Amino acid sequence: MITDTTSGNRGLLQAEPLIFETGHATGAGVDLPAPKGTPNKLGGLGRKAALDLPGLSEPETMRHFVRLSQRNYAIDLGLFPLGSCTMKHNPRLNERAARFEGFADLHPLQPTSTIQGALELMDELAHWLCTLTGMPAVALSPKAGAHGEMCGMLAIKAALEARGESSRKRVLVPSSAHGTNPATAAAAGFTVDEIPARDDGRVHLDDVKAKLGPDVAAIMITNPNTCGLFEPEIKNIADAIHAAGAYFYCDGANYNAIVGKVRPGDLGVDAMHINLHKTFSTPHGGGGPGAGPTVLSAALAPFAPVPHIVLKAGVRELREHIAGTQAFGRMCAFHGQMGMFTRALTYMMSHGSDGLRQVAEDAVLNANYLLARLRPHFSAPFGERPCMHEVLLDDSSIKPKGVETIDMAKALLDEGYHPFTTYFPLVVHGAMLIEPTETEPKRELDRFADVMIALAERVKAGEVEFFKQAPKLTPMRRLDDTRAARQPKLRWRRGENDAGAKVAAE
């Protein structure tokens, strides 16, 4: 914590302890009458000591959470160059539509006769997703990309079981894959077989063929891949996979680079999740839950999870079973993230099909503009050719000077930017993955590029200490990431509450 003022505050930014440290058990924001002589039915199991809840007045509560929110970097504060995450602007039009009471105030157990509009919206979203991807079916319910992967892999598992081929256990995953891919395959009961990386950052047909066999269940490939490159052999790989009796799971997290340009269905994809919080501009994390609808090929569609929306004589119903299908189960208690469906469909309809094509074009153009500006100052492993939607740099040109990827990331904090993605993909040492997205105007890209280039100049000038000291201007200085991961402090106990200050001081 900053210690050069009496209060611990800095400028107009207020230091903020935990709510348990500021609160006082006797205070409360409301004034309720004491309960009238209700007999205690706890039979001696009642609490002996005070509950120790933080009691705060209403203004204190407001201030606590608003101060915390000021410590958070957000897409509404500035460019968020995090590669692989697609941090794009969340249009306010989406927010307005999601707040219409006909969508926002529904309960999932309401009779379907009272939610016809909401079901129509879900059907319309499904129609757009199927049309854009060229796939016949979609499961809307998965609640994140990783959850969508699980949905796709469970559909593959069910299809194999239905064929009497549950002995197919091996799933091929390139070494450049996002960690969720092997994790999903393993969690779904498959074994993971890694396809080693090649120097050009792409998956080669020969490497896939060499791994094929009667025990292969599926391949999981990201396209465009996590190096920001389109996989040129993707169709041939899909054909080889199918010829071997296996399925093709495509990780669609990077779909924003090709939406409206390429239909995954035409590439032979059997299942692909679409992160609505990436491609279709719905908020990430604290701003709203994720949503990972998963499109399925004709071969996998019969195994799609319930519920299904069925239109009969102009009325939509939610069905748990449709004759001739063998749903593998369900992905969540109800129907998925209604608020995110509303936001995503608003984004689609406000762009139109031509506008969505331009989303992909502008995302790729913005990334290539950054690549062109940064390439002279940094090492760009595959940068001799244009990239897709993200720019991959590494620290090989700055490391000999004593500055690494982590130091660049920390220096960016002082400049008011959330860092780029660090050390991912793993196949590139010291990776710095930058994704500007289509929603950043050229002025913002130039400001960011100017900052990156100025930092590169500092490296050239040998200002190693500048980097090792960074961040200097944030409320917390450089933290011990390794110790935080190895010895995480997951619980706060009264009396040990100086731990935070101690970590900061170190």
Ligand X SMILES: *Cc1c(COP(=O)(O)O)cnc(C)c1O
Residues at the contact surface with ligand X, assessed by CB under 6 A: 84-85, 144-146, 178, 180, 222, 226, 251, 253, 275, 290, 292
Angle at 79 between CA 200 and CA 82, to 5 degrees: 35
Q: Which helix (H) or strand (E) holds 102?
A: helix 101-104
Nearest residue to ligand X, by Cβ distance, number only:
145
The SS3 assignment for 287 reads helix
The residue type found at 430 is G
* Cα–Cα distance for residue pair 372/92, rounded to 1 Å: 32
Please, what is the minimum distance in Å from the beta carbon of residue 177 to ligand X? Answer: 7
- Upstream peptide bond of 224 is cis (omega within 30 degrees of 0): yes
Give me the helix-helix angle, 405-414 and 442-460, nearest 10°.
Answer: 120
R_g of the chain, CA atoms, integer Å: 26
Name which of 145 and 264 has its Cβ closer to ligand X: 145
DSSP secondary structure, 187-255, as one string? HTTPEEEEEPP-TTSS--HHHHHHH--TTEEEEEEESS-TTS---TTHHHHHHHHHHTT-EEEEEGGGG
To the nearest 10°, report the CA torsion of 147, 151, 156, 162.
Answer: 140
CB atoms within 10 A of CB 435: 31
* Cα–Cα distance for residue pair 288/340, rounded to 1 Å: 8
Name which of 275 and 281 has its Cβ closer to ligand X: 275
Name which of 157 and 178 has its Cβ closer to ligand X: 178
Name which of 255 and 303 has its Cβ closer to ligand X: 255
The SS3 assignment for 311 reads strand
Pair 98, 343: CB distance under 8 Å: yes
Please, what is the minimum distance in Å from the beta carbon of residue 144 to ligand X? Answer: 4
What tokens appear for 368 in the block?
């290539």
Please, what is the minimum distance in Å from the beta carbon of residue 477 to ligand X? Answer: 29
Please, what is the minimum distance in Å from the beta carbon of residue 282 to ligand X? Answer: 11
Name which of 340 and 470 has its Cβ closer to ligand X: 340
Please, what is the minimum distance in Å from the beta carbon of residue 292 to ligand X? Answer: 6
Please, what is the minimum distance in Å from the beta carbon of residue 157 to ligand X? Answer: 19
Q: What are phi and psi of 317, to 5 degrees?
A: -125, 155
Pair 345, 291: CB distance under 8 Å: no
* Cα–Cα distance for residue pair 286/82, rounded to 1 Å: 16
Of all residues in the chain, what percent are helix, strand and coil, respectively (each to 5)? 40, 10, 50
Name which of 147 and 410 has its Cβ closer to ligand X: 147
Please, what is the minimum distance in Å from the beta carbon of residue 83 to ligand X? Answer: 8
Chain mean position to CA 470: 27
Please, what is the minimum distance in Å from the beta carbon of residue 431 to ligand X? Answer: 13
Please, what is the minimum distance in Å from the beta carbon of residue 494 to ligand X? Answer: 35
Name which of 274 and 449 has its Cβ closer to ligand X: 274
Name which of 64 and 389 has its Cβ closer to ligand X: 389
- How many DSSP H helices and E strands does the chain contain? 15, 12
Please, what is the minimum distance in Å from the beta carbon of residue 452 to ligand X? Answer: 22
Name which of 94 and 222 has its Cβ closer to ligand X: 222
The SS3 assignment for 181 reads helix
Name which of 282 and 297 has its Cβ closer to ligand X: 282
Please, what is the minimum distance in Å from the beta carbon of residue 178 to ligand X? Answer: 3
Name which of 16 and 251 has its Cβ closer to ligand X: 251
